[in-house]
Chain A
């Protein structure tokens, strides 16, 4: 049979393969009907093309799974990561702390809160079980009370699995048959044999330096296997002691729900605690549940494994800190690091790590200490002092005026406004709210304009807000806010707070670089309406005599009714009236010796708003700053709709 002189073998699609086969057959004359769908030849070609397509797909998948970059199956990625010395992080249980005050009958010398004492907590109507992972001794105090503070409980359930070693079974594996096991909670005890009850506890060799493990060390190693389960392996006589025939392995581990149990803060015991019923003790929450995280995702593992290999378990560069912390703590949503030489003020010898946890704004003090002690101190250069800083949230406020054509608008104005609001929020949620993510002005305005074809144009301005969270009310403290861009003099103001004299005060700038606290009368500044006209002038200003005026719109040609606008300014301990300073060129605001007694709105923060000189500029966050917006703030997204029919 004469054959076509060109055989195309690179196509993978069914139709292309079939077409190639037809071309191949066109060079012969014995079977001519391959062109017609009803012919037997066509059916035969379908089968051949289908088979070739099937094999091509299989070969393609096989090729993809051979490399970490292109692998899509978790088992493949885990296997590749294993070669780089990286094991995926397992699920981690949320951890809370409880305080107990016991009142037992009699005067026992001590009480014991047993391991695996169970508690329940509810989140959104769903119950989660918490347990103690170790027993706690509660001694009788000198005054006869029994108090246990900070008793740690973890979300989950303790499970056990037992294996008997059979050295003749070459296929024997020691598998933890649960996908949601916390590998940190695994405890392995090995009994010599059924007749010899000598029990030895094995340690996790995966957490040790492999070069330090001797041939007699009782260690086990953990590796993730198929279906997100874990397999334990033991020493081979060179690295770690080997198992013997008849050994009985007792494995204990916690199975947890992960991050979903974070924020649980009310706990009740399901049975007795230290042998006492609820009427004999008082339990309070010392720290709400925190630190729970889900199993490391395949994407995260693909991203981190090469970086961890590059870091070699040593934190030297900024990326090393990021890679190591992201690997160890899967409850981190965003992280950035910077050296002390970039800090303000400069602090040589330090490295600052800013972390935003998942589902929360900041880590608890205990969590931060644990990160420093258990992770960073194990890996970083000895002369460098690590410090974890909380993220500083830089709130953006948007004011948009949208001109639209009501005749081409297929919905009503309210719906269009809602859609524009959704467009803005979608853009913000996808493009900011993490460290080092800039706000870019033009993509936002493009998204607003693209919301509907009825929108003719829009004009958006951006204002800045930051928040002061007084740690303790009535205690003097200093605060720094960086707005990172030039701001207009006379446009800085804060929300209201109560001073030590019981009056309501507000922070404003005086247009010449000072921050002052001004007293409010009857809830508004000097009983005048606070007019905000940032486009044409100042909200507050200092006149030629040095007097601060505020509460009404002023500009250079409109000095009206000045005398009624005189304000009381808070007198500081040193006799001055300055609460701080503001640099209008850099946007840096420093507030010193500030001691509000309470906050008028009842919130935990004082919000400070500044108006930038350029309201249409991109904004880059600085160091630990995260650009964000407050969906609950009515000033966060303000949309003015203007109908244009012409």
Chain B
């Protein structure tokens, strides 16, 4: 687990992160900064899309969903995906309180609709992320 250099309380710190797309700001030309809820959303997506053994010296970080996407489309596979996502977020994203994770198989498109609802700490409103997971060859 991460060792924090500062407490998690938003009274002390706000959330701000690099946008790994490295797109320049249309006006200033600086790198765009993701702030607060947007920063957390990006972090959640990064964690889910990271495979174990991908990060140097930290093989434990990641969700391993890529391998699962190559399994047969079935309700059990959706449960496995749901479990993997829950585990990685519980372990590595301390800024959120998970409300629900929905994974719905879409056999026509060979993928899964994923909806994650969470509440950022110290911000009493639910935030939802939706995305479609499909395998890439």
A residues sitting closer than 8 Å to B (CB atoms) are 14-15, 19, 22-23, 25-26, 29-41, 43-44, 46-47, 49-50, 53
Contacts and interface: CB of A to CB of B under 8 A. Distances in A.
Interface residues of B, number: 32
Contacts of A44: 18
Given A36-B95, A38-B92, A26 B6 contact: yes
B57 A15 contact: yes
A44 B3 CA distance: 17
Contact of B19 (A22, A26, A34, A40): A40
B110 interface: no
A50 B57 contact: yes
B13 interface: yes
A51 B6 CA distance: 25
B56 A35 contact: no
A9 B8 CA distance: 27
Contacts of A31: 16-18, 33
B5 A39 contact: no
B38 to A, nearest CB: 11
Nearest to A26: B5
B16 A22 contact: no
Interface string B39-52: 10011111100100
A35 B4 contact: yes
B18 A38 contact: no
Nearest to A32: B16
Given A38-B47, A40-B18, A41-B18, A14 B2 contact: no
B94 interface: yes
Contacts of B5: 22-23, 25-26, 34-35
Contacts of A30: 16, 33
11 contacts: A35-B2, A37-B55, A37-B58, A37-B92, A38-B46, A40-B42, A41-B18, A46-B55, A46-B57, A49-B57, A50-B56
A35 B93 CA distance: 10
A32 B13 contact: yes
Looking at chain B's contact residues, is the secondary structure mostly helix, strand, loop, or mixed?
Answer: loop
B57 A14 contact: yes
B47 A37 contact: yes
A394 B32 CA distance: 82
B14 interface: yes
Contact of B44 (A25, A38, A47, A53): A38
Interface string B55-73: 1111001000000000000
A27 to B, nearest CB: 10
A36 B95 CA distance: 9
Contacts of B34: 40
Contact of A40 (B2, B4, B20): B20
Interface string B87-127: 00000111100000000000000000000000000000000
A86 to B, nearest CB: 41
Contact of B15 (A19, A32, A43, A46): A32
10 closest cross-chain pairs (CB), A and B: A38-B43, A38-B47, A33-B17, A40-B18, A40-B20, A14-B57, A50-B56, A37-B92, A38-B46, A26-B5
Given A19-B3, A33-B15, 18 more contacts: A14-B57, A22-B5, A26-B5, A32-B13, A36-B92, A37-B58, A37-B92, A38-B46, A39-B18, A39-B42, A40-B19, A40-B20, A40-B42, A43-B20, A43-B46, A46-B56, A49-B57, A53-B57
Contacts of B13: 32
Given A19-B3, A33-B43, A50-B56, A40 B17 contact: yes
A37 B2 contact: yes
A30 B50 CA distance: 25
A50 B55 CA distance: 10
B133 to A, nearest CB: 17
Contacts of A14: 56-57
A640 B95 CA distance: 68
Contacts of A53: 57
Contact of B94 (A34, A36, A46): A36
Best-surrounded residue of A23, A29, A46 (most CB of chain B within 10 A): A46
